[in-house]
Amino acid sequence: MTAAPPTTNVRLCALTDLVPERGSVALVDGTQVALVRTHDDDVHAISNLDPYSGAQVIARGLVGTRGGRPTIISPMFKQVFDLRTGECLDPVGREPVSLRTWPAAVVDGQVVLEATGDDGVAPSPVGGP
């Protein structure tokens, strides 16, 4: 790695727009990104598309922990995903499929997606502040 890719931080919403321990959905360049605010005010960004049902529903799942790892559970067929890595921790009898994640942070009370410009989610939010 010779140089860090150019990053443009995309501001999506205020932290207070997110309900603790619940997901919301942000639309980033046509892609639905689930934003999850955990109890410690950490924010995670993970794909909203549930690979098992094909529906855009991940953000509506229950948030919790499994063996200490922060998780979200698909509300459709209850697969469990690690919020930090997108890894499928419990495929409920199916082949495990991981979800894409994005680095997210809270800057000055705003939720920021650290889009890297080369990963398919361009830094051009449809709406937002």
- Binding positions for other proteins, rule: CB under 8 A: 12-13, 17-22, 24-28, 32, 35, 38-39, 53-57, 60-68, 70-71, 73, 75-76, 78, 80, 125-129
Q: How far is the CB of 4 from other proteins (least distance, A)?
A: 26
Strands 69-73 and 63-66: antiparallel
Give SS3 for 89.
Answer: strand
Distance (Å, whole) CA 60 – CA 74: 7
Q: How far is the CB of 7 from other proteins (least distance, A)?
A: 19
Closest CB to other proteins among 37 and 86? 37
Closest CB to other proteins among 32 and 98? 32
List Cβ neighbours of 31 (8 Å cut-off, separation of 6 or more): 47, 120, 121
Q: How far is the CB of 52 from other proteins (least distance, A)?
A: 11
Closest CB to other proteins among 18 and 101? 18
Q: What is the DSSP string of 8-44?
A: EEEEEEEGGGSPTTEEEEEEETTEEEEEEE-TTS-EE
Residue whose token pair is 């980033």: 28
Q: How far is the CB of 20 from other proteins (least distance, A)?
A: 6
Closest CB to other proteins among 32 and 85? 32
